[in-house]
Amino acid sequence: MERKPARSFKDLLVWQKAHELVLSIYKLTMNFPKEETYGLTSQVRRSSSSVAANIAEAFKKKSQLDKLRILNIAQGSLSETEYHILLAGDLNYATVDHIQENATQVSRLLEAYMQAIRK
């Protein structure tokens, strides 16, 4: 089955999965200790939302190089998010296995999207 071209960043599967990741992180961090409000909670929320925001920004860029540069920034934000998730798990703030799986899925989709742009 051939997919229709995306008309909006919201049509991109990679953005949809990145947005789901952000939503799950917001829900997860609601239960973090209050002393983490301006620390880990803020950092992981910011880095995860940056992934989805950068995918949205890249969608509108005209040049292939601009798209790939911004998507690479999204990859960096995703790596940062993955570290914060690992840290939250190691600190026993939450069970993070499902979120780690979501992040891995976003990583794979982001790489595939970048490969498609390169072709």
pLDDT digit string (tens) for 47-95? 999 999 999 999 999 999 999 999 999 999 999 999 999 999 999 999 9
Cβ atoms within 10 A of the Cβ of 100, count?
A: 14
Q: pTM of the full predicted structure?
A: 0.93
Query: What domains appear along the chain, each with residue ranges and CATH number?
Result: 11-118 (1.20.1440.60)
Q: What is the pLDDT of residue 6?
A: 85
- pLDDT > 70 in the chain, percent: 97
Exposed e or buried b per residue across 82-94, where buried means at least 16 C-beta atoms within 10 angstroms of its C-beta: bebbeebeeeebb
Task: Name the pLDDT band for 3 (thresholds 50, 70, 90).
Answer: low
Q: Residue 65 has which token pair?
A: 């190089």
Q: What is the pLDDT of residue 5?
A: 81
Task: Name the pLDDT band for 24 (thresholds 50, 70, 90).
Answer: very high
Separation CA 48–CA 25 (nearest Å): 8
pLDDT exceeds cutoff 90 at 10? yes
21 with 104: CB under 8 angstroms? Answer: no
Q: What is the pLDDT of residue 63?
A: 96
Task: Name the pLDDT band for 101 (thresholds 50, 70, 90).
Answer: very high
